[in-house]
Amino acid sequence: MRLKILITFLMFSALCQAQYSFSGYITPDEWQNTVYLSVVEDYRKMSGVYAEQIIAKTTADETGFFEFKDNMLETENRIYRIHIDKCSEVQQELNHFNGHCNDSEELLFIAKNTDTLKLPFSFGNQVFCTIESSNPKANAFVKIDSLKNDMRFAYGEFRSAANRKLNNKKWFKTLQYFGEELNEPIAELYIYSYLSDRSSDLHNYYVQDLKNNTYYDDLKARLKNYYPNAPYTQQYTNELEADRYMLTAASGNTAFNWSIYLYIILALSLLTNAVLFYRSWQAKQTKTETLKAKLSKQEQVVLEHLLENKTNKDIAESLFLSVSTVKSHTNNIYKKLNAQSRDEVKSLFIK
């Protein structure tokens, strides 16, 4: 009985201490020293910079080293992005809001809460080109991007319409098969979003393929099996239903009513956004609770006053403490939250 209790205690302790570590290097004299970590819950927003996706930021030291380390991520695989840019703080606010940032570098990867990920410099000191991870699925997107580069080379060899048409057919299937062989459904979504993009030359092949190929239902089954509660699964299911409705209507099997179709698309989009918003809000609540748990009860009270932009003197008067005591609590808060200023503390809680 004691042995069982001991084993249970050790397992529980290991769970409590489980945390991720994502680290790497940048070139300090080339990039701004702020590094961002984002969670991507909408696979149509894998490329770019979106403020609502950012879950953490850190500062690289004088050698360029940075690290994200905590225990707030999902226990299942999700899509994450690390990015850096050359914009000033003012430019960053504008660019991140618009989802675009010139002169930036980003890396998409798959991870979960217990993973270790290292990003050493590759040949020529290039950043975000090599991944060393405890998660064998981490570099799936790097492999896909490498294959897409091969595809671009094939397109560029002969720039005729005939060559483009042949390559469209060949690479559509090549990418689809490659995604399936990765045995990671959320990596397949990276390829699916590319092949089904309405602005892509490959979209026509997607429309035709969707009519008869069972691949899409198989992918849906894999997503529901591996990730029943992930936002990607519901988003993919919604998009698949909408595209099939459009195909059925366009084929003449039913009277095509554009207004109904648009209402369906709008409803599905609103539903997906609502789910993503709730999950984002839930993640922020969890992060806030985790951060506050690091502080003592008195420090939590002082923190609430700090978030209200009160001065040390105001806080001291409100809590009947000396100013020096408030300063001591404030310094402890900085240390425990790994912050250097009030603004950094507020950025952890106010989004």
- Give all strands of the β-sheet with 78-85 in edge-to-edge order: 54-59, 34-40, 78-85, 104-111
Q: Of the candidates 282, 225, 219, which has an alpha carbon nearest to the alpha carbon of residue 43?
A: 219
Q: Please give the pLDDT value at position 123.
A: 58
Q: Please give the pLDDT value at position 276.
A: 67
Euclidean distance between CA atoms 309 and 110, whole angstroms: 38
Q: Please give the pLDDT value at position 323.
A: 84
Whether the CB-CB separation of 60 and 26 falls below 8 Å is answered with: yes
Sorted by sequence, the CB contacts under 8 Å of residue 181 that are 6+ apart come out as none
Scanning the structure block, which residue is given the tokens 């979003």?
Answer: 193
Q: Of the candidates 130, 136, 145, 128, which has an alpha carbon nearest to the alpha carbon of residue 111?
A: 136
Euclidean distance between CA atoms 84 and 106, whole angstroms: 7
Measured at the alpha carbon of residue 271, what is the angle toward residues 268 and 272, in degrees to the nearest 5?
85
pLDDT digit string (tens) for the chain, length 351 residues:
544 444 444 444 444 456 899 999 998 888 888 899 999 999 999 887 788 899 998 999 999 999 999 998 999 999 999 998 887 655 555 555 455 566 788 999 999 999 999 998 865 567 788 899 999 999 999 999 999 888 887 776 666 777 777 778 888 999 999 999 999 999 999 999 999 998 888 888 899 999 999 999 999 999 999 999 999 999 999 999 999 988 877 665 544 555 565 666 676 677 777 666 666 666 666 667 777 788 888 888 888 888 888 888 888 888 888 888 888 888 888 888 888 888 888 877 765
Q: Please give the pLDDT value at position 133.
A: 95
| First-to-final CA distance of the chain | 48
Q: How many residues does the chain have?
A: 351
Class of residue 256 by CB neighbours under 10 A (exposed 0-12, middle 13-18, buried 19+): middle
Amino acid at 267: A
Amino acid at 7: I
Whether the CB-CB separation of 186 and 231 falls below 8 Å is answered with: no
Cα Rg of the chain (Å, integer): 24
Q: Of the candidates 347, 260, 331, which has an alpha carbon nearest to the alpha carbon of residue 299?
A: 331
Tell me the backbone φ, ψ of residue 263, rounded to 5 degrees: -65, -40
Q: Please give the pLDDT value at position 10.
A: 42
For residues 38, 44, 47, 50, the Cα torsion angle rounded to the nearest 10 degrees is -50
Q: Please give the pLDDT value at position 210.
A: 93
Q: Please give the pLDDT value at position 12.
A: 43
Query: Over the range 48-87, which residues count as b (16 or more CB within 10 Å of their CB) and which as e?
Result: bbbebbbbbbbebeeebebebebebbbeebbbbbbbbbeb
Sign of the four-CA dihedral 164, 106, 37, 116: positive
Q: Please give the pLDDT value at position 109.
A: 96
